[in-house]
Structure formats: C-alpha cells, structure tokens
C-alpha cells in the first residue's frame, strides 16, 4: 500500500510540476462581481419585517432560508445575497428575492440591506489546500466589516452572525502530528475567541477576527447574536456525509471528541435567534423578557447529554461505555436523548454491543475503518504545500493540516446556554445518523450495498432499486 501511494505521488508530481506554475501564472484575473437581481420576491409592505441572508444559496444558508420562509414567511419578506445564485442545495424558494452580489463589495452590501430589519450573515469562505491565505481575511473579515458598517448606516437593528466553533479551539494543548490532545472538558460558551497565536490556521483566525468585530459593534443600535456551529453535515454537504456513507475511512484512532452539528439543527438555531431579535417575548414592563444579544452560543451536538467519539461520526462502530471510560468520561446519556433514540429505533450507548459485534455503524451501514494518522498527516502537509505553491493537490483538497488537527484532538463544545437562552435543542446524533444512512441507501445504489438495518445484530442488506 505504501509503495502504491508513493508511486501515485511520484507520477502525479512529475506530471503537474511541468505545467502547474504556467497554468497558475496564465490564469485570468478575477473580475468584479456584478450586482444582479436574479429572482424578485415579495416586498416588505404591510408592517412586515425584512430579513437579508448572506450566503443564502450555500449549504447552511439555503437551509436557513427555507426554514425562515416556513416559520416567518407570513410576517417577513426575505432577501438573499450570494456571490453565486444556484440551486445546488435545492431550488430557489418562491417569494424570496435572490441577488447575485459580493459581500466584499461595499456597494453591493449597502444596496442589499435597503429597508432590512435583520441580517443573517452566514456567507464565508471555508477554503481548502489551494486557497490563498490572504483570501480568508478579504472575505471573512472585510466582508463582515462591510456588513456591519452598512447595517449601521442603513439603521438595520438586528444581526445574527455565523461564526465557527473553531474560534475556541486552542493549539496550546495540541502537538501537531500527534493525536489525543486538546481539552476533554467541554468548552463553555462564555469563552472568548482564542488569541490569534493559538488559532488553527487562516480560516479560524479570520472567523475569530470577524467575531470580535461584530461583538464590539453590538449595542442598542445593532443587536448582535453570534452562533458558533461545529462541523455542519447533512445529505447534500460538501462531501463529508456522502463519503462516510460510501465507506471512506476516518482519520487516526478516532478516540477524540469533535463537535459536529446537523445542518437542519444549525439552521434552526439561526431562525430562533432572528425570531427572538425581531419578535421578542415581552416582560411585564413591556421590555424583552430576556436578553439574547451581545454574546456567542455554541451550536453542536451536546457533549454532556450525548457523549460520543469521532470514530462513530466517521462511520465506525458506535461509541460504547468502555470507550468513554477509557477517557475518564462517565456515560451521562440524558433521559431525553435515550427516549428520542428509542423512539427512533436506534441504539443507545448502553445497548450497542450487538451493533459493535456485527460491525454496523450508527448510520446502519457496514462500519468504516481508519487510516493511520501518520499517513494522512504526511499527505495533508504535502497536499497543502503543493496547493499553496502550484494550485493542485494529490488528494482531496480539504485534506489540510488544520483539518487533520481538528479531527485528531479533543474540543467538545458545551451548548447549555444555547438551550437555556435561545431555546435550541440539538437532535441526537444517532437519530440523525440513522435517517441519513437510510436516505443515502435510497439515493445511491453503491451506498445501498453497504446498508444494513439497525436491527440488533444487523439484518439483511437493503435491496437496491
């Protein structure tokens, strides 16, 4: 296997090295993004509010738009500002105005915010091994600065900002290339973004800088709620879930606690925040019953009520009590979580022994295996070096050193404030995983061949269509 990998690397390096530099040098310079109304939706009028969603055609943003339309469409008009208006994550929502524009162009942002009462700013650059590091600051920092300045100028009173759980991941207790570091204890939502020197790469640094900016701007003139989602996953994500269902191995031993969140849950958190900013529950004196703005909330699966490990998310066998005990973690599965799991017909931490013995994952598929961490660490570093210098990669461009560090260290994020203040509740992971596994088998014949039911001990393979 090692020889095959080395041969593949050598061949690909030899082929691309001759052409990559010239290709990158001759690439056309990007042109200014036009401002164009692609779809005209409902007007504000009749006492209705107006909400702008930046990045509303992206994976998370498109879910936010659909949920907003379902929940508040009768009392709010919706506008989407996105650099690429497309239907990759579902058709454009009827009645919603879609504008093709760029958040890094101030005039685009200023125009899109006309007559708005709230902006849900989810547009961001996540990037990969080929993304120039300076681009993160231009999109994630300058773009956010444009949103804040235009909102203040347009007298937009409310803002929901999509930050990232990566802003509280610290490299202080991590050794690059070594697994199992980080923090076993859940990181509290009151923790500020880490200092720049402790942040893991350009994306996290840009998101932390943008978070500090919006929180500094939070005031009576602009009420800001910051949400920090973990890794957002779902059927149509950028490849994470489809790859898991297809049997792609996970990274390293997998005995670490990494924060993830189902896209429907992440979108619902944004909708709840926007609703409470625009239509707050009032106390006896007529003022809002509770203050939700001026702070950050973690939006991830609950590591306290539902402790599980990375290998289970990656499609390995379910987390067992023994796995948690080895890390000094007591099984504290909350009764509400256990009840939801039982109602959905999935397995709890206490009764997953048969699934583990049958090598069936929480997705109901044949359990995935792992790739030794030294191998993926080497490939990720090589991938990043090639991507930055020549614009091409050997493996998936998302295989970056930063992502390998995230996947191999502990950084669970506490969600008690999101639950208590926003009223948000994450769907138990195994409930989501079971639904995704079945949906994947229905949609993809290859995934169907790997699908097993979640009956204890495993069941017959799902018939392909």
Q: Is 203 a catalytic residue?
A: yes
Name every residue whose Cβ is closer than 8 Å to that of residue 291 and which is 6 or more positions away in sequence: none
Phi, psi angle pair for 27, to nearest 5°: -65, 140
**Residue pair 182/410 in contact by the 8 Å Cβ criterion:** yes
Give the phi and the psi of residue 8 in degrees, each rounded to 5: -60, -40
Give the DSSP letter string of 278-298. Answer: HSPPB-TTSSBSS---SEEEE
CA distance to 111, 223, 241, 320, per residue, from 356 (Å): 55, 48, 21, 9
Structure-block tokens of residue 11:
């061949």
Which of the following is catalytic: 98, 203, 297, 406? 203
Nearest Cα to Cα of residue 158 among 43, 278, 64, 292: 278
Judge contact between 340 and 428, C-beta under 8 A: yes
CA–CA separation, 164 and 402 (whole Å)? 14
Two structure tokens written together for 92: 């454009």
3-class secondary structure per residue, 181-223: CECCCCECCCCCCCCHHHCCCHHHHHHHHHHHHHHHHCCCCCE
Q: Catalytic residues, which ones?
A: 203
């Amino acid at each position: 296997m090692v020889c095959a990998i080395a041969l593949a690397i050598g061949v690909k390096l030899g082929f691309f090295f001759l052409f990559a530099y010239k290709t990158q040098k001759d690439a056309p310079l990007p042109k200014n993004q036009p401002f164009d109304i692609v779809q005209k939706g409902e007007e504000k009028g009749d006492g209705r509010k107006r909400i702008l969603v930046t990045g509303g055609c992206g994976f998370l943003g498109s879910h936010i738009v659909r949920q907003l339309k379902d929940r508040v469409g009768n009392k709010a008009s919706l506008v989407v500002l996105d650099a690429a208006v497309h239907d990759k994550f579902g058709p454009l929502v009827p009645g919603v105005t879609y504008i093709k524009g760029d958040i890094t162009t101030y005039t685009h942002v200023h125009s899109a915010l006309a007559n708005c009462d709230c902006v849900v700013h989810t547009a961001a650059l996540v990037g990969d091994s080929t993304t120039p590091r300076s681009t993160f600051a231009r999109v994630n920092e300058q773009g956010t600065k444009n949103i804040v300045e235009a909102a203040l100028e347009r007298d937009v009173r409310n803002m929901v900002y999509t930050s990232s759980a990566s802003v509280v991941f610290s490299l202080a207790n991590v050794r690059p290339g070594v697994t199992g570091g980080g923090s076993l204890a859940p990181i509290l939502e009151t923790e500020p973004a880490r200092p720049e020197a402790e942040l893991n790469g350009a994306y996290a640094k840009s998101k932390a800088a943008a978070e500090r900016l919006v929180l500094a701007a939070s005031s009576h003139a602009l009420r800001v709620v910051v949400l920090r989602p973990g890794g957002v996953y779902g059927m149509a994500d950028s490849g994470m879930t489809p790859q898991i269902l297809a049997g792609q191995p996970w990274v390293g031993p997998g005995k670490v606690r990494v924060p993830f969140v189902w896209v429907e849950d992440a979108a619902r958190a944004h909708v709840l925040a926007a609703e409470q900013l625009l239509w707050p529950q009032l106390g006896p004196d007529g003022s809002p019953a509770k203050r939700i703005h001026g702070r950050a909330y973690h939006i991830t699966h609950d590591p306290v009520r539902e402790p599980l490990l990375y290998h289970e998310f990656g499609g390995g066998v379910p987390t067992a009590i023994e796995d948690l005990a080895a890390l000094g973690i007591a099984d504290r599965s909350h009764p509400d979580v256990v009840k939801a799991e039982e109602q959905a017909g999935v397995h709890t931490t206490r009764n997953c022994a048969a699934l583990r013995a049958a090598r069936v994952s929480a997705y109901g598929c044949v359990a995935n295996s792992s790739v030794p961490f030294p191998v993926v660490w080497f490939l990720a570093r090589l991938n990043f070096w090639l991507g930055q210098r020549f614009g091409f990669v050997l493996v998936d461009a998302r295989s970056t050193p930063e992502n390998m560090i995230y996947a191999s260290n502990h950084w669970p994020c506490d969600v008690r404030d999101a639950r208590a203040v926003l009223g948000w509740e994450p769907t138990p992971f195994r409930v989501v995983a079971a639904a995704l596994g079945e949906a994947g088998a229905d949609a993809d014949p290859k995934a169907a061949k790997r699908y097993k039911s979640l009956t204890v001990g495993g069941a017959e393979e799902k018939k392909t269509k």
